[in-house]
Structure 1
Amino acid sequence: MNIAARRRLQLGLLLGPVTLFLLVFFLIPLGIMVVTSFLTPGLYGGVEWSFYPDNFGRILGFANPEFEEYDPVYIGIFLRSIRIAAMTVGATLLVCYPAAFYISRLPDRWKNFCLFLITLPFFSSLIVRLFVWVMILRPTGLVNNALMATGVISAPLEMIYTDGAIILGMVYVFIPFMFMPIYASIEKLDWRLVQASLDLGAGPIRTFLRIILPLTAPGIAGGSIIVFIPALGNFVVPAVLGGAKVMMLGNLIEGQFLSARNWPFGSALAMMVMAVMLVLLLVYVILSGRRNASAALTA
């Protein structure tokens, strides 16, 4: 066996298990969901094997009124989910970017300890952590009791079951996902360029905008996508901190599959989420390719 054939065999042995896993547990279920989204909902659940595009029309407004009615509530839920996911990205970025800078400048001993603290929430149950936030934010919770005891407010604030509570919970859950890519970019930052910019007369703000921000942009973009995608389809945080007052896409999809038993409509909603994620990933890949090509030409 020649060297090329041996390398192909080694590559096949290395990639074969991963490829098989993705085929069985990702591509095949995804294909089933794509097919189901274009089928007719069964009268008592399940599907009927006939083409039915009105599942998407029910969301986007081109449903056949003989069978379905367009309800703007669904596109409203879709837009609200995008807004909350985008605000979650912005809030996690505001928290993680300065924290990553500070931690990256610490001695190695404290740096490793801080990184351990960042990943510490992964060692406890998500549901338990979210119910702690319920106890903190509810009308008789810690925050309201403290504010009323100090005389700041006279009546409890409505903090639980709001968009703000969901964003707070999302930020709490997804901070490690934003922090790690940003921290990795900052760790690779060449501080000699920063010092040279300052020595040549550029102020701190201009140095940040022209040197630091472009060099750490890949970490910001990667962290934003990693946070936005699961935040858009998350249903655990809205279910616990939003209750029945705040509906998001994840809760709507869950309800269509488990409660309403309208699998085609639930699949159509899931496909729209997948479409948004695919567009974001394509934009990220295109921008990364252009940035790498520009860096290669500059070099």
Structure 2
Amino acid sequence: MAGVASSSRQRSKIAPYLMVLPALAYLAVFFVVPIWSLLRTSLSSMSGSVFLPTLTFSWNFANFGHAFSLYEDQIIRSFTYALVATLLCILLAYPLAYVIAFKAGRYKNLILGLVILPFFVTFLIRTLAWKTILADDGWVVSALGSVGLLPSEGRLLSTSWAVIGGLTYNWIIFMILPLYVSLEKIDPRLLEASRDLYSSNARSFGKVVLPLSMPGVLAGSLLVFIPAAGDFINADYLGSTQTTMIGNVIQKQFLVVKDYPAAAALSFVLMAFILVGVLLYTKALGTEDLV
């Protein structure tokens, strides 16, 4: 009996590791191996022709210095656009998520469905649609020009605001859903208690709703900022050569110039900046705030 009990305890200790094994294998094959390959490429030197390049691993750390010095403007622009788009997502998504969570009543699921519905259309098609909407001969430019918000020769397409608008629209769903989940978890009795204590609606929001919804704000901010910083579709279709983001540079280095070490180094520079930001967040606020 003692042997059976010992064997059962041993199996119970091994079982969690066996359950995690498929996930670890998946991460190893589709995350660790590609990252390792990208790292080797970023430290390699390239020789040969453009059509038949030869990569030689040579611990060439100079690729990182060149990547940052040559494309510093694009890196700064990418993070600036991503930050502005994230702030706009918060300003636009918070009222909508608040209404769905507290005011929608029986129409809650319907409104959520309508919010999610446009995002069943592929990312590229939605961006091309915005290119048509913001075109110089489109109704948006005409309407803004007629009320004096745009000069006669003014335009929206191929500007920084067009790119930021595209980023905001394409990633706002990742702000709405975490905010809605966070607001939905707030106990309505807390709001009733604040009103019983003669708190105004504005004070109840500032003292009860906003602090309790901060995990949703923070989670949504990460979910919007990280992909927006590496985006290249919006800058490619809605912007110009003056609004190029680091994602556009990486794409062209990989597919057009075929300078694979430079492209890999740029990818790691982008990942490093994002990783530092995420680590600073988790250190300051703790990952438990994201539940």
TM range (shorter): 0.7 to 0.9
How far does residue 106 in structure 1 lie from its aligned partner after superposition?
A: 3.6
* Residues 1:51 and 2:51 aligned together: no
Equivalent positions of 1:248-287 (< 5 A) are 248-287=245-284
The worse-fitting range, judged by mean Cα deviation, of 109-118 and 177-186 is: 109-118
Aligned residue for 1:42, secondary structure, equals strand
* Residues 1:226 and 2:210 aligned together: no
* Amino-acid identity (%): 34
Q: 1:196 aligns with which of 193, 198, 203?
A: 193
Q: 1:248 to 1:136 in 2, by over 3 A?
A: same
Matched with 1:244 is 241
Matched with 1:132 is 129
* Residues 1:89 and 2:77 aligned together: no
* Residues 1:2 and 2:8 aligned together: yes
Query: Deviation per CA, 1:204-234, whole angstroms, max 9, x where unpaired?
Result: 3333222222111111000000000000001
Matched with 2:34 is 29
Q: 1:46 to 1:158 in 2, by over 3 A?
A: farther
How far does residue 139 in structure 1 lie from its aligned partner after superposition?
A: 0.8
CA distance in 2, matches of 1:150, 1:182: 35
Q: 1:284 to 1:149 in 2, by over 3 A?
A: closer
Aligned residue for 1:159, secondary structure, equals coil
Letter aligned with residue 125 of structure 2: V
Q: 1:262 to 1:176 in 2, by over 3 A?
A: same
Query: Deviation per CA, 1:104-153, whole angstroms, max 9, x where unpaired?
Result: 12455310011111211232122221111111111111212345577876
How far does residue 160 in structure 1 lie from its aligned partner after superposition?
A: 0.4
Q: 1:154 to 1:78 in 2, by over 3 A?
A: closer
TM-score by length of 2: 0.87
CA distance in 2, matches of 1:8, 1:213: 44
Q: Is contact 1:225-1:280 (8 Å) kept?
A: no
Query: Deviation per CA, 1:73-119, whole angstroms, max 9, x where unpaired?
Result: x1111111000000010001000001101111245531001111121
How far does residue 255 in structure 1 lie from its aligned partner after superposition?
A: 0.9
CA distance in 2, matches of 1:159, 1:46: 43
CA distance in 1, matches of 2:270, 2:284: 21
CA distance in 1, matches of 2:203, 2:133: 41
Matched with 1:16 is 21
How far does residue 194 in structure 1 lie from its aligned partner after superposition?
A: 2.6
Matched with 2:44 is 39
Ranges in structure 1 where 5+ consecutive residues have no aligned partner: 61-69, 293-299
Q: Is contact 1:238-1:246 (8 Å) kept?
A: yes
Ranges in structure 2 where 5+ consecutive residues have no aligned partner: 1-6
CA distance in 2, matches of 1:103, 1:270: 38
Matched with 1:64 is none
CA distance in 1, matches of 2:250, 2:95: 36
Aligned residue for 1:51, secondary structure, equals coil
Give the number of aligned pairs. 280
Q: Is contact 1:134-1:160 (8 Å) kept?
A: yes
CA distance in 2, matches of 1:216, 1:165: 30
What is the RMSD computed on CA atoms of the aligned residues?
2.3
Letter aligned with residue 180 of structure 1: L
Matched with 2:4 is none
Q: Is contact 1:135-1:142 (8 Å) kept?
A: no
Matched with 2:114 is 117
The worse-fitting range, judged by mean Cα deviation, of 271-280 and 248-257 is: 271-280
Letter aligned with residue 42 of structure 1: S
